[in-house]
């Protein structure tokens, strides 16, 4: 493994701090142990993540044993331990580690009250917001509402600070929280209100994060704005306007991500762009519709390129399926039978993976559309074969749909 200079410098710093700790009187070790813990945290972002997080936790635990620690130091230690468990949640035991993280953050607040340490209090509140937002224990709505409260408490203090990056992070957290509530909500009006709040906070964050200063945060915020505007369009709210906005934000995010450096992010954005162009085409007149469908085709092809089936089978299948549907809709406009052949090829590629993954609904839908494509080509034999497959798959899931497909089959067989 080739180590960069930063990593080598950090490893050198670990050795220096350990030597100092071993040479210091017992009563003077606390600051050094905290410094050692922080260096291990930085190292965990570069190599041996779990090992260095454990080393960091050990250093903070040793610092905690010091009898003469001030409340400020105790708050620092508990906040750091909360952060360590939060990072561990990305490696293993997600919910257990997040709950342990929350326990330490809440303990930190006892040592760093708002009146005495306002900005440190705000930092821990922000950390609590992130922890609750990430918790997935079946109480997502309750946890998200708690996250919002913590983010708002942090925001009320950080507004007075000159640290714009902190403000950007808090606004981004609030945007994600309201987007989560929108995804949970089953009520159209409530969902729309949550999405609008999410857009407000992501827009606030986008005033802070620029492609030059914080490229990854900028891209994430732009991508999330794209998701929000697309979701508003799905609710039937100003479809054309919101879909055009989603496309603009997805394109902004793509200025940062490349297929070589960030294939998942790049592929997801290309996929989302393809869907937005497809949906936009469905609300426009003939000439513009045709153009939007060609744009959708282009971006879905880019997403397929980013999702090789051996590495990302489900993402590949989704992209192939939606590309097939684009060809289906393009045929309705252009009446070019080659588009039906392309549709069939794409849907068959997706179908293989849907069946492997036992995605029954997607399998049935793909079979049905393949049947439709063959019927449009006057190939009744193949149409019936795929309609029957769709009927067989969907029968245990929805008898009404199965009966409707059965009636179609009977009508074709009469011809």
pLDDT in tens, 185-218: 999 999 999 999 999 999 999 999 999 989 999 9
Neighbours of 233 (CB within 10 A): 22
Per-chain mean pLDDT for the chain: 94
Section 153-179 average pLDDT = 90
**At CB < 8 A and 24+ separation, what contacts does 161-169 make?**
161/119, 161/122, 164/208, 165/208, 165/214, 166/122, 166/123, 166/126, 167/204, 167/208, 168/205, 168/208, 168/209, 168/214, 168/217, 169/126, 169/205, 169/217
What does the block give as tokens for 289?
């519709």
For residue 24, is pLDDT > 70? no
Q: Please count the CA atoms within 13 angstroms of the CA of 119 that sit on its side-chain side.
A: 8
Between 132 and 70, name the one with better pLDDT. 132
pLDDT band at 25 (very low <50, low <70, confident <90, very high): low
What does the block give as tokens for 327?
């060809």
DSSP helix/strand/coil, 331? helix
Tens-place pLDDT, residues 311-366: 999 999 999 999 999 999 999 999 999 999 999 999 999 999 999 999 999 999 99
Percent of the chain scoring above 70 in pLDDT: 97
Neighbours of 90 (CB within 10 A): 11
Region of residue 238 (left: phi > 0; alpha: psi -120 to 50; beta: else): left
- Cβ contacts of residue 63 below 8 Å, gap of 6+? 29, 30, 33, 34, 37, 69, 73, 77
CA 266 to CA 364: how far, in whole Å? Answer: 29
pLDDT band at 8 (very low <50, low <70, confident <90, very high): confident
pLDDT of residue 3: 43
Tens-place pLDDT, residues 111-163: 999 999 999 999 999 999 999 999 999 999 999 999 999 999 999 998 877 66
The DSSP letter of residue 45 is T
Q: Report whether 29 contacts 63 (CB < 8 A).
A: yes
For residue 12, is pLDDT > 70? yes
For residue 279, is pLDDT > 70? yes
pLDDT of residue 69: 78
For residue 5, is pLDDT > 60? no
For residue 49, is pLDDT > 80? yes
For residue 1, is pLDDT > 50? no
For residue 389, is pLDDT > 70? yes
Percent of the chain scoring above 90 in pLDDT: 89
CA 356 to CA 363: how far, in whole Å? Answer: 10
Section 18-30 average pLDDT = 78
**Residue keyed to tokens 């999405």:** 195
For residue 105, is pLDDT > 70? yes
**Residue keyed to tokens 């821990």:** 124
Neighbours of 400 (CB within 10 A): 8
- Predicted TM-score (pTM) of this structure: 0.91
CA 259 to CA 407: how far, in whole Å? Answer: 46
């Amino acid at each position: 493994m080739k180590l960069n200079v930063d990593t080598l410098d950090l490893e050198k710093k670990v050795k220096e701090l350990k030597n100092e700790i071993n040479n210091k009187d017992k009563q003077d070790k606390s600051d050094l142990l905290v410094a050692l813990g922080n260096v291990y945290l930085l190292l965990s972002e570069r190599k041996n993540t779990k090992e260095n997080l454990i080393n960091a936790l050990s250093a903070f635990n040793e610092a905690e044993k010091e009898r003469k620690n001030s409340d400020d130091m105790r708050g620092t230690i508990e906040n750091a331990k909360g952060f360590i468990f939060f990072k561990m949640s990305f490696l293993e035991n997600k919910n257990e580690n997040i709950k342990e993280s929350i326990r330490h953050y809440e303990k930190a607040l006892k040592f760093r009250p708002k009146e005495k340490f306002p900005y440190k209090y705000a930092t821990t509140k922000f950390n609590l917001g992130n922890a609750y937002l990430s918790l997935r224990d079946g109480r997502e709505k309750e946890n998200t509402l708690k996250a919002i409260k913590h983010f708002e408490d942090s925001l009320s203090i950080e507004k007075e600070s000159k640290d714009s990056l902190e403000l950007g992070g808090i606004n981004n957290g609030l945007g994600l929280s309201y987007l989560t509530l929108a995804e949970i909500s089953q009520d159209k009006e409530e969902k729309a209100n949550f999405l609008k709040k999410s857009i407000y906070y992501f827009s606030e964050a986008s005033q802070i994060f620029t492609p030059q200063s914080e490229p990854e945060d900028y891209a994430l915020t732009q991508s999330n704005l794209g998701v929000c505007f697309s979701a508003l369009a799905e609710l039937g709210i100003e479809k054309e306007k919101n879909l055009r906005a989603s496309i603009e934000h997805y394109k902004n995010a793509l200025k940062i991500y490349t297929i070589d450096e960030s294939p998942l992010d790049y592929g997801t954005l290309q996929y989302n762009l393809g869907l937005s162009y497809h949906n936009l085409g469905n609300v426009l007149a003939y000439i513009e519709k045709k153009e939007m469908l060609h744009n959708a085709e282009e971006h879905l092809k880019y997403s397929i390129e980013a999702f090789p089936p051996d590495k990302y089978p489900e993402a590949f299948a989704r992209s192939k399926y939606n590309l097939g549907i684009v060809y289906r809709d393009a045929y309705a406009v252009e009446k070019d039978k080659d588009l039906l052949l392309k549709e069939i090829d794409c849907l068959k590629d997706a179908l293989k993976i849907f069946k492997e993954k036992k995605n029954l609904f997607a399998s049935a839908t793909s079979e049905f559309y393949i049947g439709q494509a063959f019927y449009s080509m006057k190939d009744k034999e193949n149409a019936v074969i795929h309609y029957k497959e769709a009927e067989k798959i969907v029968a245990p899931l929805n008898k009404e749909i199965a009966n409707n497909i059965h009636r179609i089959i009977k009508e074709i067989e009469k011809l």
